[in-house]
Amino acid sequence: MDVLVEDGLIITMNKDRAILKNFSIAIEDGRIVEIGKKIKGDADFVIDAKRKIVMPGLVNAHTHLAMTLFRGVADDIELMAWLQKEIWPVEAKLEPKHVYAGALLGCLEMLYSGTTCFNDMYFFMEETARSVEETGIRAVLSYPLIDLGDEAKGKEMLKEGEKLVRKYRKNDLITPFFGPHAPYTCSEELLLGAKELADKYNTGVHIHVAETEREVKTFVEQKKLRPFEYLEKIGFLGENVIAAHATFSSKKEREIIKKRGVKIAHNPVCNMKLASGVAPVPEYLDMGICVALGTDGAASNNSLDMFEDMKICSLVHKLKKGDPRVMPAPKVLEMATLNGALSLGLKDIGSIEVGKKADIITINLRSPNLTPLTNPVSHLVYAAQGKDVCDVIINGKVVVHDRRVRGLDEEDVMRFAEEQALDLFRKAGRENKFIIR
């Protein structure tokens, strides 16, 4: 066998949500081939998982990965001012090298904190794909499609999106999606063009919907319909659509979401930091809507640590509802693993089961914050941190072992990211944002 993960406490996330003590996992050709107490045979690589939790890798369902270069430069600002005054003027100066550097840094951060798959929308997406292939992480990638009513621009955007899909649709690690940015930045023609192409290539659609109350109010004034009502009217919605945020939805819209099988990517930390609001996630889940968990970009989080987001996800909804029973740990862990995979159409990951792809992480239980071990699922959501991740296996390959990323010099990655961040902000006339080391 290729890899043997030996004697771990396995959180399977299978249909029975089984927890297996002192079990091992055999991996061959990228897939899990056996789960048992004693697995016979030699392995090319053995991971000693004694005193470790073994679990599915975390799935970050909504990111703008290269925005790691923007970390900490635009804090404590309302969303539209944040975008218009701080983010967009700098993004106008983006070059491929900046995106590559930021994406590479983001991959490093996610690998160290147990994320094995992420769903990204950003510019120069081939540079993000390059970082994915170099680090071995799994990704769903989409080019942001924006036309602001410009028909010619919309057609050009669709060509760019289709080019990305055609290039990567047979890649082992990359699943390309179409990414119309949002209902308020895309014409009806662009939205329907993206949907038509996604159906043609049997892939997904990644879109922002109803992120802020102000956005929804303005949209209603212009279209006389709420965002999800509008998307339903034009025939855009379907099971292959993942809607980021969905912070403000009406009861009628939630019924539409359920009817069409739309998936939701919840971003609690970003929504709190920008004071956008608290999405009705308990209502979504009660209706059987698939809700996944995302960090959003590092400019508005400012971390890509999904363990942090799991804890905050649970706590913010308890506070909002005034009910500590809301969003229990098992449900939140499901959002960050199995639901993340299902929301992206990746049915081969998200749980530890024979036949599934081997996207697996281990967590060091010999940490003060995880001692004593009373309730492993509770510990993962309320006590674990990214720093507790020991090993990361993606597509059957050991990418991180004993907290070292294999084949990647982290100092070089961080140095390169700092250089390119400074270069980008200097070109935008904002170099005063940085403390030079």
User: Do residues 11 and 146 both lie within one domain?
Assistant: no
CB 262 within 8 A of CB 29: no
- Read off the DSSP letter of residue 147: -
Which class for 325: exposed (0-12), middle (13-18), buried (19 or more C-beta within 10 A)? exposed
One digit per residue, the tens of pLDDT, for the chain of length 437 reads: 999 999 999 999 999 999 999 999 999 999 999 999 989 999 999 999 999 999 999 999 999 999 999 999 889 988 788 888 899 999 999 999 999 999 999 999 999 999 999 999 999 999 999 999 999 999 999 999 999 989 899 999 999 999 999 999 999 999 999 999 999 999 999 999 999 999 999 999 999 999 999 999 999 999 999 999 999 999 999 999 999 999 999 999 999 999 999 999 999 999 999 999 999 999 999 999 999 999 999 999 999 999 999 999 999 999 999 999 999 999 999 999 999 999 999 999 999 999 999 999 999 999 999 999 999 999 999 999 999 999 999 999 999 999 999 989 999 999 999 999 999 999 999 888 777 65
Domain boundary among 320, 343, 366: 343
Q: Which has the closest alpha carbon to 222: 149, 147, 158, 144?
A: 149
Q: Say which CATH number the domain at 313 has.
A: 3.20.20.140
User: Do residues 279 and 364 both lie within one domain?
Assistant: no
pTM of this structure? 0.97
Range of the domain at 27: 3-56+355-405
Q: Say which CATH number the domain at 43 has.
A: 2.30.40.10
Phi, psi of 31 (to 5 degrees): -125, 160
State the total domains in the chain: 2
Residue 414 placed within a domain: no
User: Do residues 323 and 398 both lie within one domain?
Assistant: no
User: Do residues 136 and 248 both lie within one domain?
Assistant: yes
DSSP 17-34: --EEEEEEEEEETTEEEE
CB 344 within 8 A of CB 59: yes
Domain boundary among 302, 323, 343: 343
